[in-house]
């Protein structure tokens, strides 16, 4: 890629981030004014302040040095553990992004060290402990949403560290076979009195409700059905901003956080959804390109993990609202209400831009 093309790509990346922040802030501000009775100027001011914090975090993270001193290598992992423990104890949806980012940033160097020690290249079961232990402990809480996020970020880090496709394809095929088996035997697996040993009761109910929301349309399947109705009622062009009937008649639960994609779809329709998804796809592809071209192994793993976290949250949120994934409490990046999530996403994307700056600095 030529120098002008790189500059244009970077400018497009930054511009798209700013547009996403402004769009998400204004969208949520209007909902705050409608739902909580505050004035529109007040709501817009509050969300604009959060947007300013996000932009500040993004700009600050761009200048974070990627090279760690010997002292920082000893201190930062301890700080990351403290942040993760505190956030896990809070047990809230907005705490999951700080948990994931802290675990990713402060554990990328140990993973890099493990790679240099050729632990990841040796076909031994010990390397599975790198992910099995944290994911298992988080699921034990239980917190399936955070466990899936940490698992996705960890797998991406290990893959970008040089994991062979021969070791990736078999688990993927096994997972696909398991999903097909669950769908095929759904009447038996979801019958009354059948317990799944690897999941808690409420997690099993979420999976069974996903497979057949009409099983309990006024109970466990209510959220999924109302979300799908809202998405379908938007049509191609939507009903217009703040004109969604499903949203404003309060049929959609958590319409400013977990199910905001349903509210967005009802008001902006398929055209708005395609634009939103196209923006997410561009950001993810740009993040993967930055990771692939990163100057060091540490920065490559860090960029890959941040990109995977962003992709996982966007995919899981839109997937659960659309009825193709179980309902879990995850925000939609840039769109869902929550200052902590937005600031953390800004930090993560700032780290991506820092990696890109380091790559351009070496090329120049």
Instruction: Return the pLDDT at 110.
Output: 45
More confident: 284 or 340: 284
Q: From CA 342, how far away is CA 225, in angstroms rounded?
A: 28
The 10s digit of each residue's pLDDT in 119-149 is 444 555 555 566 777 777 777 777 777 777 7
Among 107-116, 286-295, 341-350, the minimum mean pLDDT is found in 107-116
Structural domain total, the chain = 1
Highest average pLDDT, of 34-48, 120-134, 250-264, 276-290, comes from 276-290
Structure tokens at 120: 């990841």
Confidence of residue 218 (pLDDT cuts 50, 70, 90): confident
Would you give the end-to-end CA distance of the chain in angstroms? Answer: 13
Residue 71 CB-density burial (10 A; 0-12 exposed, 13-18 middle, 19+ buried): exposed
pLDDT above 70 for 350: yes
Q: From CA 347, how far away is CA 101, in angstroms rounded?
A: 9
For the chain, give the mean pLDDT. 70
Burial 169-194 (b: 16+ CB within 10 A, else e): eeeeeeeeeeeeebeeebeebbeeee
Asked whether 64 and 106 are in contact (CB, 8 A), the reply is no
Asked whether 112 and 118 are in contact (CB, 8 A), the reply is no
Residue written as tokens 């109970």? 219
Among 121-125, 134-138, 211-215, 301-305, the minimum mean pLDDT is found in 121-125
Instruction: Return the pLDDT at 92.
Output: 47
pLDDT above 60 for 90: no
Asked whether 161 and 115 are in contact (CB, 8 A), the reply is yes
Helices (H), the chain: 3-36, 40-62, 70-90, 96-116, 129-139, 144-160, 165-184, 186-189, 201-211, 222-233, 245-248, 260-292, 297-322, 339-363
Asked whether 188 and 213 are in contact (CB, 8 A), the reply is no
Q: From CA 108, how far away is CA 77, in angstroms rounded?
A: 10
Asked whether 231 and 267 are in contact (CB, 8 A), the reply is no
Confidence of residue 150 (pLDDT cuts 50, 70, 90): confident
Structure tokens at 292: 């692939």
Instruction: Return the pLDDT at 165.
Output: 75
The 10s digit of each residue's pLDDT in 156-186 is 777 777 777 777 788 778 888 888 888 888 7
Closest Cα to residue 27, out of 262, 253, 231? 262
Instruction: Return the pLDDT at 79.
Output: 55
pLDDT above 80 for 42: no
The range of the structural domain enclosing residue 146 comes to 3-363
Instruction: Return the pLDDT at 190.
Output: 80
Confidence of residue 294 (pLDDT cuts 50, 70, 90): confident
More confident: 8 or 231: 231
Q: From CA 224, how far away is CA 213, in angstroms rounded?
A: 7
Q: Is 285 left (phi over 0), alpha (psi -120 to 50) or beta?
A: alpha
Local structure of residue 214 (DSSP, 8 states): G
Closest Cα to residue 322, out of 223, 218, 187? 223
pLDDT above 70 for 30: no
Q: From CA 149, how far away is CA 316, in angstroms rounded?
A: 10
Q: pTM score, two decimals?
A: 0.71
Instruction: Return the pLDDT at 109.
Output: 45
Q: How many CA atoms lie within 13 A of 101 on its CB side?
A: 23
Instruction: Return the pLDDT at 117.
Output: 43
Closest Cα to residue 134, out of 106, 170, 166, 169? 106
Confidence of residue 113 (pLDDT cuts 50, 70, 90): very low
Closest Cα to residue 127, out of 152, 141, 110? 110
DSSP string, 98-119: HHHHHHHHHHHHHHHHHHHTTT
């Amino acid at each position: 890629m030529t120098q002008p093309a790189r500059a244009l790509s970077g400018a497009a990346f930054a511009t798209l981030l700013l547009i996403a922040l402004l769009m998400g802030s204004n969208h949520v501000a209007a909902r705050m004014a409608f739902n909580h009775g505050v004035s529109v100027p007040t709501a817009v001011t509050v969300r604009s302040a959060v947007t300013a914090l996000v932009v500040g975090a993004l700009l600050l993270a761009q200048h974070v040095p990627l090279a760690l001193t010997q002292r920082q290598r000893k201190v930062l992992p301890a700080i990351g553990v403290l942040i993760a423990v505190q956030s896990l104890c809070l047990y809230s949806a907005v705490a999951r992004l700080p948990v994931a980012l802290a675990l990713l940033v402060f554990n990328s160097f140990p993973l890099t060290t493990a790679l240099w020690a050729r632990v990841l290249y040796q076909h031994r079961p010990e390397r599975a402990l790198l992910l099995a232990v944290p994911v298992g402990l988080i699921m034990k809480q239980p917190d399936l949403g955070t466990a899936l996020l940490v698992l996705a970020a960890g797998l991406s880090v290990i893959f970008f560290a040089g994991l062979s496709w021969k070791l990736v394809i078999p688990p993927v095929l096994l997972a696909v076979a398991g999903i097909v088996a669950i769908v095929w035997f759904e009447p038996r697996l979801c019958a009354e009195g059948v317990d799944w040993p690897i999941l808690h009761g409420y997690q099993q109910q979420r999976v069974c409700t996903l497979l057949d929301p009409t099983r309990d349309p006024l109970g466990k399947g209510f959220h999924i059905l109302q979300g799908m109705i809202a998405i379908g009622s938007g049509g191609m062009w939507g009903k217009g901003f703040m004109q969604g009937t499903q949203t404003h008649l309060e049929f959609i639960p958590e319409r400013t956080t977990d199910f905001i994609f349903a509210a967005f779809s009802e008001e902006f329709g398929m055209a708005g959804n395609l634009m939103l998804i196209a923006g997410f796809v561009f950001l993810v592809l740009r993040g993967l390109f930055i990771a692939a071209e990163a100057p060091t192994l540490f920065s490559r793993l860090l960029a890959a993990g941040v990109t995977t976290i962003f992709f996982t949250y966007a995919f899981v949120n839109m997937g659960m609202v659309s009825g193709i994934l179980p309902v879990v409490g995850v925000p939609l990046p840039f769109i869902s209400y929550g200052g902590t999530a937005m600031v953390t996403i800004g930090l993560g994307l700032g780290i991506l831009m820092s990696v890109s700056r380091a790559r351009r600095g070496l090329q120049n």
